[in-house]
């Protein structure tokens, strides 16, 4: 098994221990184009959960910022926020599974 394959797979598996640092460092340090390709793809896949969580946190705080938080605004404030957190959790789960699958595929 080559070092490049292991490094490429580690970029995907880094979702568990260093989601942003390892792909960025690998992208700038390693000169092999295939490893750079996998580092870039893994970095993008690590950014997706951060973006979804940020969007749904912003969605949760919109009613609070505009003074709309109350029983009559449950659908807009609380209901959509909880739905957003569920969607973000599902997206995060899918991204983790995708990273594990891609890491295993690279090792084969």
Mean pLDDT, the chain, integer: 84
Q: Give me the pLDDT at residue 54, please.
A: 84
pTM, to two decimals = 0.78
Q: How confident is the model at residue 72 (pLDDT cuts 50, 70, 90)?
A: low
Looking at the predicted structure, is the pLDDT value of residue 73 above 80?
A: no
Residue with more model confidence, 13 or 58: 13
State mean pLDDT over 4-31.
92
- C-alpha triplet 46, 47, 53: angle, nearest 5°: 110
State mean pLDDT over 38-61.
87
């Amino acid at each position: 098994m080559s070092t490049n394959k292991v490094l490429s797979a580690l970029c995907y598996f880094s979702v568990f221990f260093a989601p942003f640092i390892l792909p960025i460092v690998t992208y700038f340090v390693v000169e092999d184009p295939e490893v750079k390709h996998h580092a870039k793809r893994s970095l993008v896949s690590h950014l997706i959960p951060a973006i979804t969580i940020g969007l749904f946190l912003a969605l949760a705080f919109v009613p609070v910022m505009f003074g709309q938080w109350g029983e009559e605004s449950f659908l807009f404030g609380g209901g959509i926020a909880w739905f957003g957190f569920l969607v973000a959790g599902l997206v995060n789960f899918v991204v983790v599974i995708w990273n594990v699958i891609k890491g295993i595929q690279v090792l084969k």
